[in-house]
Chain A
């Protein structure tokens, strides 16, 4: 993926055979297809990263998190309870990375997404809908939240979603690119969660950017079973003093 950045065979943890997996701890590795069976506990993840998905209502944040849906299953679960976050495992550059992905759907009012989500995020995916100008116009407001609450080294990715609705496009690709260019380190892409176009790539791209920045070993074991600490805090209005200078936002 990155030039010279380590094909999977590199000795991440001791001479893997198949895609980046083999480690001394003896993991059957890789979420892909393999069927070796070991009795030892599997190799723990090399990295644990928290990623949040933000953006205005209806831009498709939740769709980015799920690959497909089928309404015969657990309607109750889906519509009334909803998924709070997901653990997903990806392998990249010989490393096994566990993502904890938070979807903030349902809390789109800018102020209601609490700082807890932002604070520990290593990656932030900011989504707008290419067919709805107002969701694009909202982006500066979201950037203010990011500037205020997110860690300065969080990777930012701007996603123009609903590429499958090209005929209704209101925001050109160039506009999206231009917005992202104004912000230090922000990447940009367009995607269609409906067609699953670019969706996996979004996460891989983000993770890759995060890993490139990270001195190895730093983030290992940083997160624990931290559901509680990541629960939305009770409606704290975002009036805390900005913990960081406005380095990014226009």
Chain B
């Protein structure tokens, strides 16, 4: 349960590289024919269950999420964030099994693990109260 997916640990290609449109490596094998998540979405770190299978739909959108690890190197590089393109889109906040919401950053709330607060794993804009994004790259899949 707590087993993280080693392969999910991104070898972080620089965010500047545009995602290949068709051959999306991140989502391969994770999306069902209806566009929903085939597998449960878990926290990479503690295995906390974020979404059950089928609770979200696959969506592409460029979103900037602050880096998960506060690496000195990353900070020095001045970035501190990644542009992520592949997400699980959730329409109802109560579709989440477990998730945390940060306080507002501008008109955005970031999503974090409800148990260990690893994150940000996702993004929510207060202007669109029916959209909650969870970045594929920031979570594990069961």
**Residue among B53, B70, B93, B130 making CB contact with A74, cutoff 8 Å:** B70
* Contact A67–B112 (Cβ < 8 Å): no
* Contact A227–B93 (Cβ < 8 Å): yes
Is chain A's binding surface mostly helix, strand, loop or mixed?
loop
Bound-state CA distance A99–B23 (Å) is: 38
**Least CB separation from B118: chain A residue:** A73
Hey, which chain A residues are within 8 Å of B70, CB to CB? 72-76
Bound-state CA distance A72–B45 (Å) is: 11
**Residue among A40, A73, A85, A225 making CB contact with B100, cutoff 8 Å:** A85
Q: Which of A1-50 contact B (CB under 8 A)?
A: 27-28, 31, 33, 35, 37-42, 44-45, 48
Most buried by B among A77, A226, A231: A77
Q: How large is the interface on B (under 10, 10 to 19, 20 to 34, 35 or more residues)?
A: 35 or more
Is chain B's binding surface mostly helix, strand, loop or mixed?
loop
* Contact B130–A225 (Cβ < 8 Å): yes
Mask: chain B, 53-81; 1 = CB below 8 Å from A; 0 = not: 11100000000001011100000000010
B27 contacts the other chain (Cβ, under 8 Å)?
no
B9 contacts the other chain (Cβ, under 8 Å)?
no
CB of A34 to closest CB in B, whole Å: 9
Hey, which chain A residues are within 8 Å of B110, CB to CB? 77, 81
- Residues of A in contact (CB 8 Å), total 44
User: Taking A87-B98, A98-B94, A227-B109 as contacts, is the C-beta distance between A27 and B52 under 8 angstroms?
Assistant: yes
Hey, which chain B residues are within 8 Å of A75, CB to CB? 70
User: Taking A73-B117, A77-B110, A77-B112 as contacts, is the C-beta distance between A28 and B100 under 8 angstroms?
Assistant: no
* Contact A223–B112 (Cβ < 8 Å): no
User: Taking A74-B68, A82-B102 as contacts, is the C-beta distance between A37 and B39 under 8 angstroms?
Assistant: yes
Number of CB contacts from chain A to chain B under 8 A: 140
CB of B77 to closest CB in A, whole Å: 15
Mask: chain A, 59-95; 1 = CB below 8 Å from B; 0 = not: 0000000111110111111100111111111000000
**Least CB separation from B121: chain A residue:** A74
**Least CB separation from A85: chain B residue:** B101
Known: A37-B53, A74-B119, A89-B98. 19 other contacts (CB 8 A): A35-B142, A37-B38, A41-B36, A42-B54, A69-B116, A70-B118, A72-B69, A73-B45, A74-B68, A76-B66, A77-B66, A77-B117, A83-B112, A84-B109, A98-B94, A225-B130, A227-B109, A227-B126, A227-B129
